[in-house]
Amino acid sequence: MSKICVYPGTFDPVHLGHIDIVRRALNIFETVVVAIAENPKKKPLFSIKERVDLFQNAVKEFDGRVIVESFEGLLVDFMKKYNTKICVRGVRLFTDFEYELQIAMTNYKLDKVETFFMMPSQDLIHISSTIVKDIAFHFGSLDGLVTEYTAEALRKKVREVLKK
């Protein structure tokens, strides 16, 4: 089996904690496939195309070792495309772990997918996409939370939403 893993999520938007998980996963795996879920239940701020673009920009430093693409449907079906049964999930808090454990056990039941849980670095563990969006909508500083490219996209998106 090749050393490839899938890192799924909504990533609305990608933040430095997500990039930290990718960086650390690349210490273990040759390739990380970032699988961005359509997930209309969450009512994302950014379109699927925008989220893919933001993540691709955020991982350009990894010299082609990271593939970013969107998917719909079951993660286990998407993973077949890459012939892997290894999933990486970031967890920050115990409450994250409970939810992620349910998903991991379901994916294992569905198709024997093994899930590796990784915590972001201590200086990034507090960051979530929800917090990043809240800060952006209150015109706070996004320094140390997202890349400058994502910060610019967030500021632009906030202006668009507030004009409506």
Give 3-state DSSP helix, strand, coil % of the chain, rounded to 5.
45, 20, 35
The reply, when asked if residue 31 is annotated as ligand binding, is no
Residues of the domain holding 13? 4-126
Which pLDDT score, from 0 to 100, does residue 111 have?
Answer: 97
Confidence grade of residue 98 (pLDDT, cut at 50, 70, 90): confident
- Taking only the tens place, the pLDDT of each residue in 43-81 is 899 999 999 999 999 999 998 899 999 999 999 999 999
Whichever domain contains 61, its CATH number is: 3.40.50.620
Position 2 pLDDT exceeds 70: no
* 137 is a domain residue: no
Confidence grade of residue 3 (pLDDT, cut at 50, 70, 90): very high
Tell me the CA end-to-end span of the chain in Å, nearest whole number.
Answer: 50
* 39 is a domain residue: yes
Domain total of the chain: 1
In this structure, are residues 45 and 13 in contact, taking their beta carbons and an 8 Å threshold?
A: yes
Which pLDDT score, from 0 to 100, does residue 93 have?
Answer: 74
Token pair 């799924």 is at which residue? 8
Which pLDDT score, from 0 to 100, does residue 20 have?
Answer: 97
- The model carries a pTM of 0.94
The reply, when asked if residue 138 is annotated as ligand binding, is no
Alpha-carbon distance of 77 to 163, in angstroms, equals 39
Rounded to 10 degrees, the C-alpha dihedral 129/37/21/25 comes to 180
* 151 is a domain residue: no
Position 31 pLDDT exceeds 90: yes
The reply, when asked if residue 51 is annotated as ligand binding, is no
Active site residues per annotation: 18, 42, 92, 129
In this structure, are residues 13 and 136 in contact, taking their beta carbons and an 8 Å threshold?
A: no
* 55 is a domain residue: yes
